[in-house]
Chain A
Amino acid sequence: MSEVNQKRRDFLAFSGKAGVATLVAQAAGINLGIVDVVKAEAGGKVDPFRFAIISDAHLYSMDDHKFDQQLIDAVNKVNNMNPMPDFVLFGGDVAQNGTEDQLVKGQKILSELKMPMKIIPGEHDWYLDMGEAWRGLFGDETWSFDHKGVHFIGLNSILVEDFWTPAGLSPKERMTVMEMLESPIPGPWGVHEKQLEWLAKDVKDLAPSTPIVIFTHSPLWDYYPRWNFQTSDAPEIREILSKFDNVMSYHGHVHQTLYNRIGNMSSVAAMSTSWPWPYPPVELAYPETRMNRADPSIATDGQGVQLIDLSESFEGLVQYKPFEDSLTPFMQDGFKV
């Protein structure tokens, strides 16, 4: 057995066992602590199904921009899955500059999906008009629903403290600041108090055995705060959800394949349909879940969509479906969470 396959086997065995291992999840030099990895037997029964994730289209205003076609390709890829996913989650950043025309273009392309879609916003969708156009097109940004025994939750994780009023910035200047991934101006993103209260209320009456999927734009762990690869109140979210046996977190924003686990929560990132981002300079707990370095001469390398199959015992098989040959051998058949 090759080293890669051995590592893969170890990883699958590790991630599939119940409460037998501990890990130190490290990111950006921050020790997140030694935590129990509890893959509990889900008491709640799931009627097995699959769902897909499309994320980070970053559409521009001009006609026939290459990102338009890449989102169309993603929609076609999902529509041609067999069996078809029950629904699609869109992980935020439909638009690049947050303009209504970009959001409308995205909605039009996504309306070609043959299955229902739920969506949460990204920062590129939001800060031109503070979500007004987005809400008009897509509805509430905070939601939950139940599907075949699983409780799905969506939160808006890109909220920041008001930096624009004291600085006297126009809406366009505010948006421009938010468009820059590494801008030091906006501060860390989060879901903020109102959504934390909503979340606590939403799950209050659910049994610990209820399978939970939570969906946000940014990751619910400190990956690389410099690029807002984090959610500032993720510890509070994890605390609220700590009573559940097993929680799956899926997120956009990072434009790359990635897995992590903290306590009862697994975390899976989505590839984008626009461009891939390099892995930031931090140690990963599961470096084997990285994709190949994207080749810039192949315009759609390192991009794609995701497919998740949930089993009766709420085990998820995560399969990245890239546009090109972007996955390492370890990742090509998917991995279990």
Chain B
Amino acid sequence: MKTRIAIRRALGLGGIAAATVVASTVFARPPFTEEELAAQMDSLYEVIQVGYDLWHGSEPKMTSNGLACANCHPDTAASNPQTFPKYMTMYGKVVPWQEMVNWCIENPQLGERFDPQSDEMTAMKAYAMYLHRGLPIEPGLASEQTAAVPVAFGTGFKREPTGLGVDTREYVPERR
């Protein structure tokens, strides 16, 4: 009796698996073409480069004292995106990486925060994640500095220079 039940169950599972394979073959989206993949990566690189610009001060509202993210975090070093979400003492709770960026914008930089879901924040996260590609994800690691991947001299993002923050001779936003 027990043997018969076991056989029936096995046949049942096998049937489901077989049906799944057939359905996948019939209904799954075909793999992306090389052209489609290239277009997707182009979109990603464009967003990464927007993030690079923002990190280096292209958006004046991010600062009122001239400081940009890149002052303290060249090549996004020690921004540690692979360690978030994690507990941050300044919040007293676990926060995502975007919130830490907003903390830096509002405190060391005395600027205006972004919506964490905004395109700007997505761009900065894409830039930081790109420079931490391949590093292990370690949520909560906080006591040690982590570094971005090494970047060879003379490579990187040949964008128009945006400077670090604003030139305070010409742009002095209202103090908070």
Out of A66, A184, A293, A297, name the residue touching B158 (CB < 8 Å): A184
Residues of A within 8 A of B104 (CB): 296
Q: Is the CB of A96 within 8 A of B56?
A: no
From B78, B143, B148, residue with most partner A Cβ within 10 Å = B78
The A/B interface has a contact count, at CB < 8 Å, of 100
In whole Å, how far is A277's beta carbon from the nearest beta carbon of chain B?
Answer: 7
Out of B73, B78, B145, B151, name the residue touching A226 (CB < 8 Å): B151
Q: Is the CB of B168 within 8 A of A61?
A: yes
In the bound assembly, the distance between CA atoms of A149 and B76 in angstroms comes to: 45
In the bound assembly, the distance between CA atoms of A61 and B66 in angstroms comes to: 9
Out of B89, B154, B163, name the residue touching A297 (CB < 8 Å): B89
What number of B residues sit within 8 Å (CB to CB) of A?
Answer: 40
In the bound assembly, the distance between CA atoms of A28 and B147 in angstroms comes to: 13
The answer to the question of A60 belonging to the interface, with a C-beta cut-off of 8 Å to chain B, is: yes
Residues of B within 8 A of A177 (CB): 161
In the bound assembly, the distance between CA atoms of A316 and B40 in angstroms comes to: 57
The answer to the question of B155 belonging to the interface, with a C-beta cut-off of 8 Å to chain A, is: yes
From B90, B158, B161, residue with most partner A Cβ within 10 Å = B161
The answer to the question of B74 belonging to the interface, with a C-beta cut-off of 8 Å to chain A, is: yes
Residues of A within 8 A of B172 (CB): 62
Binary contact readout A273-294 vs B (1 if CB under 8 angstroms, 0 otherwise): 0011111111000000000010
Q: Is the CB of B163 within 8 A of A182?
A: no
Q: Is the CB of B169 within 8 A of A279?
A: no
Residues of A within 8 A of B151 (CB): 182, 226
Q: Is the CB of A173 within 8 A of B161?
A: yes
Q: Is the CB of B163 within 8 A of A28?
A: no
Binary contact readout B101-141 vs A (1 if CB under 8 angstroms, 0 otherwise): 00110011000000000000000000000000000000000
Residues of A within 8 A of B66 (CB): 60, 62, 65, 96
Q: Is the CB of B169 within 8 A of A101?
A: yes
In the bound assembly, the distance between CA atoms of A282 and B158 in angstroms comes to: 24
* A188-B153, A276-B72 known; A62+B168 contact, CB < 8 A: yes
The answer to the question of A13 belonging to the interface, with a C-beta cut-off of 8 Å to chain B, is: no
The answer to the question of B156 belonging to the interface, with a C-beta cut-off of 8 Å to chain A, is: yes
* A293-B145, A297-B90 known; A28+B65 contact, CB < 8 A: no
Residues of B within 8 A of A21 (CB): none
Q: Is the CB of B161 within 8 A of A296?
A: no
Residues of B within 8 A of A115 (CB): none
Binary contact readout A298-311 vs B (1 if CB under 8 angstroms, 0 otherwise): 01000000000000
Q: Is the CB of B77 within 8 A of A275?
A: no
In the bound assembly, the distance between CA atoms of A120 and B65 in angstroms comes to: 26
In the bound assembly, the distance between CA atoms of A101 and B74 in angstroms comes to: 26
Q: Is the CB of A187 within 8 A of B73?
A: no
Q: Is the CB of A97 within 8 A of B154?
A: no
Q: Is the CB of A180 within 8 A of B169?
A: no
From B73, B89, B148, B168, residue with most partner A Cβ within 10 Å = B168
Q: Is the CB of B72 within 8 A of A29?
A: no
In the bound assembly, the distance between CA atoms of A299 and B168 in angstroms comes to: 21
The answer to the question of B164 belonging to the interface, with a C-beta cut-off of 8 Å to chain A, is: yes
Binding site for A on B (CB under 8 A): 56, 65-66, 70-75, 77-78, 89-90, 103-104, 107-108, 143-145, 147-158, 161-164, 167-169, 172
- A sample of 25 cross-chain residue pairs with beta-carbon separation below 8 angstroms, ordered by A number, consists of A60-B65, A65-B65, A65-B66, A96-B66, A101-B169, A176-B163, A180-B56, A180-B161, A182-B70, A184-B156, A185-B158, A187-B154, A226-B152, A226-B153, A227-B75, A278-B145, A280-B77, A281-B147, A281-B149, A293-B78, A296-B103, A296-B104, A296-B108, A297-B89, A297-B90
* New A-B contacts (12) at CB < 8 Å, excluding given A176-B163, A277-B77, A297-B107: A29-B150, A60-B168, A62-B66, A62-B172, A96-B66, A180-B70, A184-B158, A275-B72, A277-B72, A280-B77, A281-B77, A296-B90
